[in-house]
Amino acid sequence: MATSQDAPADVSNRKTMTPTLPDDIHAAAERARVLRDELQRHNIAYYVHDAPTVSDAEYDALMNELVALETKFPELVSPDSPTQRVGAAPVSAFGSITHKRPMLSLGNAFSDEDLRSFDTRAKRALGMDLAAPVDYICELKMDGLAVSLTYENGVFTQGATRGDGTTGEDITQNLRTLKSLPLRLHGDKCPALIEIRGEVFLTHQEFARINAEREKSGEPTFANPRNAAAGSLRQLDPRITAGRRLQIYLYGIGETQGYRPDTQAGLLDQYRAWGLPTNPFRQLCANIEEVIAFVGEWQDKKNAIDYDMDGVVVKVNDIRLQEELGQVARAPRWAIAYKYPALQVQTKVEDIVVQVGRTGSLTPLAWLASVAVGGVKVSRATLHNQDEIERKDIRIGDTVVIQRAGEVIPEVVRVVLEARPEGTVPYRLPDTCPSCGTPVVRPEGEAVTRCPNVAGCPAQLQTRFEHFVSRNALDIAGLGERHIAQLIAAGLVKDPADLFFLKKDDLLPLERMGDKLADNILNAIEKSKKTTLSRLIFGFGMRHVGERASTVLARRYHTLEKLAAATADELEAVHEIGRITAESVAAFFALPETKTMLDKLHRAGVEAAGDDSAPVSDHFAGKTFVFTGALTQRTREEAEALVRRFGGRASGSVSKQTSYLVAGENAGSKLTKAQSLNVTVLTEDEFASLLPDSV
């Protein structure tokens, strides 16, 4: 289920093969109800119970059928339909929402003693015998963003950030895009109203994916998963949020009408029953010593989970006792957050070095005296930008505290001012590009400083070439960083298209070049002329255009000429392409240098006409085909390529997941198996009739 469910949820444009749709609205309404119910059950099995009940293909087929029904009968579309996750228009600012009950913050505990004192305080407040035990529940403390969700009569109606605890921002449309969040609570025991609190966070894997993509498209990277989650959730365009695989776990309750839990454990069980994801790692403890044991256990275990947790939240389990305990200031007296110490060490900033990226961004890096942080050797830390440096006043020669949270690149937490040597000066990014000497610019309101010498800056050219030849772009193996630097320095290449005119005599004089390597590189260059359009687009390294956007653009435009002719408005109308990306693409193709490069690519015979690896439509989405026997109209490979081209899957073996078996002459065991599994068997002609008219 991972692939299809992780894909952006807007499926409204899908053209699909669906079973015959009912003609009358009553039958359609009933079918839509059944489909929504089934989709929700599969979603809960996947996200809440971690036990998928269907394949991607089956899930997609159900979703496609629902989309088709809602397209035919638009009056059946309801806001809680699973087809309606993405689709809201971007907003210019978030509205504000006042929480019906304030969102509390938690007091902290840093030691076993702090936990025992919390236990004692609670018992005193309850007038209990200090030797009597209290039931606690331990929950992992996710390091994300607290949110509040409102469900009215089971339907998700509003979502807000915590804000100052009283008033938060209205991020309803962004929260709707979270695949694991039910738009309607499961079952029929839904309260008239409930505010449900939880934490939105990103896994390390997704954090790394987002940052890698941003790096490739020349955008500044996020410092840690928490910032990335915050940045993703506070997007004005919900389509961007939809592209980030945000996770959510629910753990708390605010205002409620028509439901009252007895215990915190019971609340979490009820949440699961409603189809709300909860963290599976929780434990009921019969006394504070068991809590302390749980906290100790997770000291090591916390490094093995794929998201940041910075502690354990300890809560009195009995809700009546919670109510009796109440709150002081903004923190409940019935809960406390045990915080693990962050892995922090001190080291010295030996130098600050500025890197110039592919799109000209200047990124300051601290070169540190090498130290081990939590077993990992660290000698560099990113300082992000000038504002960050000023905020922390980081200077060359300073002793700094650095910290590594989870898998993240270390960050400088603060300067140890007492250890600052005499004569240090505040650090300022240079006024001119360290590579080409051009005065740098910093646009109003942006944190990034850039070298504007797009065409001539050697550092930009270098990284742009490295990107162009990289594996996911043109994949020209053998041409290393040093070779590129020499080719640029010798003036042999000015833009990536010049690579296609290199001769062996140009390569042979380079350092670290031999006869064989030169041949291999020339072969790789020749081979890369038959690249796919998406790789070529990606290879250009336009700002904000990563692999995903490149694929989307290639599927939409099919040729470079058509893409180059598109206006920013047309580009923005492409599903998944936002305004910023559209403007970046249009600006790139409007540059005279780009026109020169495109001419050269054309003369060199670079053909990037289409992407056979990338589907051009979703015509066969959710369908799996198996071909068997002797085909007469096209080879098996061609038939399979057609299926993939139109969004379907081609498989070599028949199973329950197979949608169609296409049987040629002398079909053997696959036909028998298909018949026994009730898989639809098609002749070659019947298969041909399913293909879109354009074939």
**What are the residues binding ligand 9MJ (CB under 6 A)?**
104, 106, 139, 141-142, 199, 251-252, 313, 335
User: Which residue lies nearer to ligand 9MJ by CB, 82 or 311?
Assistant: 311
User: Which residue lies nearer to ligand 9MJ by CB, 269 or 526?
Assistant: 269
Please state the closest distance from residue 305 (CB atom) to ligand 9MJ, in A: 12
Give the whole-angstrom CA distance, residue 331 versus residue 326: 9
User: Which residue lies nearer to ligand 9MJ by CB, 106 or 479?
Assistant: 106
Please state the closest distance from residue 375 (CB atom) to ligand 9MJ, in A: 26
User: Which residue lies nearer to ligand 9MJ by CB, 198 or 647?
Assistant: 198
Half-sphere exposure of 372 (CA within 13 A, CB side): 3
Q: Provide the β-strand partners of residue 203.
A: 307
Which H or E run includes 141? strand 136-142
Single-letter residue type at 222:
F
**How many CB atoms are closer than 10 A to CB 558?**
16
216 is catalytic: no
CA 13 to chain centre: 22
Please state the closest distance from residue 198 (CB atom) to ligand 9MJ, in A: 8
Maximum pairwise Cα distance, the chain: 91
**How many CB atoms are closer than 10 A to CB 459?**
21
Contact of 371 with 382, CB cutoff 8 Å: no
Task: Give 441's DSSP letter.
Answer: B
User: Which residue lies nearer to ligand 9MJ by CB, 31 or 197?
Assistant: 197
Please state the closest distance from residue 352 (CB atom) to ligand 9MJ, in A: 35
Please state the closest distance from residue 226 (CB atom) to ligand 9MJ, in A: 11
Instruction: Give Cβ neighbours of residue 126 (< 8 Å, ≥ 6 apart).
Output: 134, 321, 324, 325
Nearest alpha carbon to residue 615 among 637, 583, 648: 648
Task: Tell me if residue 243 falls in helix, strand or coil.
Answer: coil
Nearest alpha carbon to residue 240 among 224, 229, 225, 226: 229
Beta-sheet strands, E only, within 145-229: 145-152, 155-161, 167-169, 193-201
Give the whole-angstrom CA distance, residue 559 versus residue 533: 7
CA geometry: angle 406, 408, 410, nearest 5 deg: 110
Given the structure tokens 């005279």, which residue do they identify?
592
Catalytic residue among 15, 123, 141, 315: 141
Please state the closest distance from residue 335 (CB atom) to ligand 9MJ, in A: 5
User: Which residue lies nearer to ligand 9MJ by CB, 331 or 345?
Assistant: 331
Please state the closest distance from residue 104 (CB atom) to ligand 9MJ, in A: 5
CA geometry: angle 563, 567, 570, nearest 5 deg: 85
Please state the closest distance from residue 199 (CB atom) to ligand 9MJ, in A: 5
Nearest alpha carbon to residue 148 among 248, 80, 224: 248
User: Which residue lies nearer to ligand 9MJ by CB, 69 or 253?
Assistant: 253
Single-letter residue type at 428:
R
User: Which residue lies nearer to ligand 9MJ by CB, 246 or 650?
Assistant: 246
Active-site positions?
A: 141
